[in-house]
Amino acid sequence: MASYEVTDSTIKNVEKKFTVDVYNRVFDMIILSMENQFTNSKEILLDLTSLSPIHIDSFMIGLPKNAFVKLAVKLKPYFDKDNENEIKYKLSKEI
């Protein structure tokens, strides 16, 4: 409604004020932080879920083309001369 106006009233209940002013704000920041953390790590988390025993049945069909791409990049410093494609191939072959 166009004529509707919100009147802000002060919260008189101390517990309710704490919930609104402190608890909800802290909780919102935690949720935002977790969303950012997992959004930025989405590719590596998908690669790691490919290693889960839950997905073994789906490996009979074959691994997805994008499996282990990000994980291979992260593991490259631990291999002497292999490039990302070789590491990806070795991981896929091992699975």
pLDDT tens-digit map of 20-55: 888 889 999 999 988 887 777 777 777 777 777 776
Q: Tokens at residue 73, please?
A: 């990049």
Nearest-CA neighbor of 49 among 64, 27, 28?
64
Distances (CA, A) of 80 to 32, 58, 74, 83, 84: 39, 31, 13, 9, 12
Whether residue 5 has pLDDT greater than 70? no
55-61 long-range contacts (CB < 8 A, ≥24 apart) are 59/95
Q: What is the pLDDT of residue 7?
A: 64
Report the predicted TM-score, pTM, of the whole model to 2 decimal places.
Answer: 0.40
Q: CB 88: neighbour CB atoms within 10 A? A: 22
